[in-house]
Amino acid sequence: MTAVLAAMTSLFGVWIGSLLTESRSLRERAWGQKAQAYSDTFEALAIMGRFLDGEVDDELVRRERAPEDVVRRRAEYAAARAQMQKAIARQSWLLPEAVSERVEKLEAVFDGHYTSYFDDVDASAAECGRAEKDLRALAKADMLRPGRSLDGLVRLLPWRT
């Protein structure tokens, strides 16, 4: 009877250990996916911000641009905007709803109708900067929050990694 009890205790311990390991693995994988989505989004915001700031500067000084430069810059902007939309959509099931809402607000400004091209790029550049600041705060709150569930128990286990 003692041997059976010892075997059952060992089996239970192995089962609990595997559950904790799997839970940690899933959390780490989700954390990595969220980190990649945030990284892709911030990279896209930086590219879009540079484009918009350049457009504002060019409009202010009425600088003429080479047609091939205009095409290249607009293509980079469009690609960055698509990258941001894809990153948010791909991980929307993991990211807080506030992130999607903030990106939607940014997109609404990008798609807004303005009286001039300058007003368009000026409003878009300003909103892009605000969105980057807001999303950075959301990302920090999301990625740096303390763990939940069994994390306290895992910290107490002598074999934790």
CB within 8 Å of 128: residues ≥ 6 apart: 45, 48, 49, 52, 106
Does some domain include residue 158? no
Does residue 89 lie in a domain region? Answer: yes
pTM recorded for the entire structure: 0.74
What is the tens place of the pLDDT at every residue in 83-134? 999 999 998 888 999 999 999 999 999 999 999 999 999 999 999 999 999 9
Domain assignment of residue 154, yes or no: no
Q: Residue 153: its pLDDT value, please?
A: 43
The per-residue pLDDT for range 139-151, each reduced to its tens digit, is 999 888 655 444 4
- Asked if residue 15 belongs to a domain, the reply is no
| Residue of 15 and 116 predicted with greater confidence | 116
Q: How many domains does the chain have?
A: 1
pLDDT > 90? residue 71? yes
Provide the mean pLDDT of the chain: 84
Q: Does the pLDDT of residue 138 top 80, yes or no?
A: yes
User: What is the residue range of 65's domain?
Assistant: 28-144
List, as one string, the DSSP characters of 75-131: HHHHHHHHHHHHHHHHTTTTS-HHHHHHHHHHHHHHT---SSHHHHHHHHHHHHHHH
- Does any domain span residue 159? no
Domain annotation covers residue 44:
yes
SS3 34: helix
- pLDDT on residue 2: 80
pLDDT (0 to 100) of residue 32: 87
Domain presence at residue 16: no
Token pair listed for 70: 């205009």
Residue 151: inside a domain, yes or no?
no
